[in-house]
């Protein structure tokens, strides 16, 4: 494998998938703010996003949108704006933290099969399913856990597949998702090859880019692909690469990172 320099690693990761600016800002705040009271200076936020190829104007627009949507808060410290997660943003971020940061594969689970009665329309059946359900047919689906208040007209049974046929693999994780995970794993391994950057800002940007792409992919699906496919699919391989990368590029303390950004700013 060719060893890339730091800028080439950043370029590889930046091109690994879409960088929606509002989502990048959420990734930065979600990773860097480890308590509800943590705040990131506007200069540091702009510097981190700028190393990813995001303009200062795009950051300002994204911050305005996230503030209007109730995701982030801002306050003044002298002439600089400080940004942090709002109560709502903190709650939403904490809710998915176990999903995003868990490097371990979940233990093999036994999803549940739900079959609706013929008199229930397919649309009504779909409306009753959780967002993470996998539809197998017009009135049949797999769910991670049984409903807390199951409808007595529904057939509910544990699914214990000894063999996962190809058509079910495609329903659990379509070809596009598996391809994106495969690309993320490859880009992450390239970013980890060779020495770690001496510059703390660059090391943090590599961490955030990897985390951003992992987060946007992992939040597109529930636990069913991991429960059934386990280590056999691209998402599991990407998980291992990302978990290793988060150790290679550890989260810095905010004061240390802010100091590094100040040192890197020309007078």
> How high is the pLDDT of residue 232?
82
Q: In this structure, what CATH number is given to the domain that contains residue 122?
A: 3.30.70
> How high is the pLDDT of residue 103?
78
Q: Are residues 96 and 123 in the same domain?
A: no
Yes or no: say if 144 and 222 are a contact pair by the CB < 8 Å rule: yes
Residue 260, domain member (yes or no): yes
Q: Are residues 99 and 204 in the same domain?
A: yes
Q: Are residues 75 and 203 in the same domain?
A: yes
- SS (HEC) of the chain: CCCCCHHHHHHHHHCCCCCCHHHHHHHHHHHHCCCCCCCEEHHHHHHHHHHCCCCHHHHHHHHHHHHHCCCEEEEEECCEEEEEECHHHHHHHHHHHHHHHCCCCCCCCCCEEEECCCCCCHHHHHHHCCCCCEEEECCEEEECCCCCCCCCCCEEEECCCCCCCHHHHHHHCCHHHHHHHHHHHHHHHHHHCCCCCCCHHHHHHHHHHHHHHHHHHHCCCCCHHHHHHHHHCHHHHHHHHHHHHHHHCCCCCHHHHHHHHHHHCCC
Q: Are residues 91 and 62 in the same domain?
A: yes
Residue 191, domain member (yes or no): no
Residue 225, domain member (yes or no): no
Q: Are residues 146 and 207 in the same domain?
A: no
Residue 172, domain member (yes or no): no
Per-residue pLDDT of the chain (267 residues), as tens digits, is: 688 899 999 999 999 999 999 999 999 999 999 999 999 999 999 999 999 999 999 999 999 999 999 999 999 988 889 999 999 999 999 999 999 998 776 666 678 999 999 999 999 999 988 888 999 999 999 998 887 777 778 899 988 878 889 999 999 999 999 999 999 999 999 999 999 998 999 999 999 999 999 999 999 999 999 988 888 899 999 999 999 999 999 999 999 999 998 877 765
Strand order in the sheet with 155-158: 134-137, 140-143, 112-115, 155-158
> The dihedral of CA 59, 61, 66, 67: what is its sign?
positive
> Is 0.85 topped by the overall pTM?
yes
Q: Are residues 99 and 203 in the same domain?
A: yes
| Rounded Cα gap, residues 14 and 213, in angstroms | 9
Q: Are residues 202 and 82 in the same domain?
A: yes
Q: In this structure, what CATH number is given to the domain that contains residue 95?
A: 1.10.10.10
Q: Are residues 90 and 139 in the same domain?
A: no
Residue 173, domain member (yes or no): no
Q: What's the CA angle centered on 234, arms 229 and 237, to 5 degrees?
A: 100
> How high is the pLDDT of residue 108?
63
The count of domains in the chain is 2
Residue 166, domain member (yes or no): no
> How high is the pLDDT of residue 267?
58
Q: Are residues 258 and 202 in the same domain?
A: yes
Q: Are residues 96 and 153 in the same domain?
A: no
Burial class (CB in 10 A: 0-12, 13-18, 19+), 131: exposed
- Structural tokens at position 147: 């409903």
| Rounded Cα gap, residues 257 and 200, in angstroms | 7
Q: Are residues 98 and 117 in the same domain?
A: no
Yes or no: say if 220 and 28 are a contact pair by the CB < 8 Å rule: no
> How high is the pLDDT of residue 262?
84
67 backbone dihedrals φ, ψ, rounded to 5°: -70, -40
> How high is the pLDDT of residue 1?
67
Residue 175, domain member (yes or no): no
| Structural domain of 252 | 6-104+198-218+237-264
Residue 133, domain member (yes or no): yes
Q: Are residues 44 and 74 in the same domain?
A: yes
């Amino acid at each position: 494998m060719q060893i890339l320099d730091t800028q080439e690693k950043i370029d590889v990761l930046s091109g690994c998938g879409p960088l929606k600016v509002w989502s990048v800002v959420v990734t930065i705040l979600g990773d860097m703010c480890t308590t509800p009271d943590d705040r990131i200076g506007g200069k540091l936020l702009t510097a981190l996003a700028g190393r990813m190829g995001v303009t200062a104007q795009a950051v300002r627009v994204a911050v305005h949108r996230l503030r209007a949507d109730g995701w982030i808060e801002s306050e003044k410290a002298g002439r600089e704006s400080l940004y942090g997660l709002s109560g709502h943003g903190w709650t939403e971020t904490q809710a998915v933290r176990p999903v995003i940061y868990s490097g371990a594969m979940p233990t093999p689970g036994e999803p549940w099969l739900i079959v609706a009665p013929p008199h229930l329309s397919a649309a009504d059946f779909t409306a009753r399913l959780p967002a993470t359900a996998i539809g197998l047919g017009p009135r049949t689906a797999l769910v991670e856990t049984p409903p807390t208040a199951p409808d007595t007209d529904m057939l509910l049974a544990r699914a214990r597949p000894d063999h996962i046929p190809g058509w079910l693999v495609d329903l659990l994780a379509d070809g596009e998702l598996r391809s994106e995970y495969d690309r993320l794993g490859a880009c992450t391994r390239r970013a980890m090859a060779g020495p770690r950057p001496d510059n703390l800002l660059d090391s943090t940007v590599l961490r955030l880019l990897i985390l951003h792409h992992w987060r946007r992919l992992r939040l597109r699906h529930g636990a069913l692909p991991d429960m059934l496919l386990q280590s056999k699919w691209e998402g599991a391989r990407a998980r291992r690469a990302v978990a290793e990368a988060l150790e290679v590029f550890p989260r810095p303390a905010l004061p240390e990172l802010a100091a590094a950004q100040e040192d890197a700013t020309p007078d």
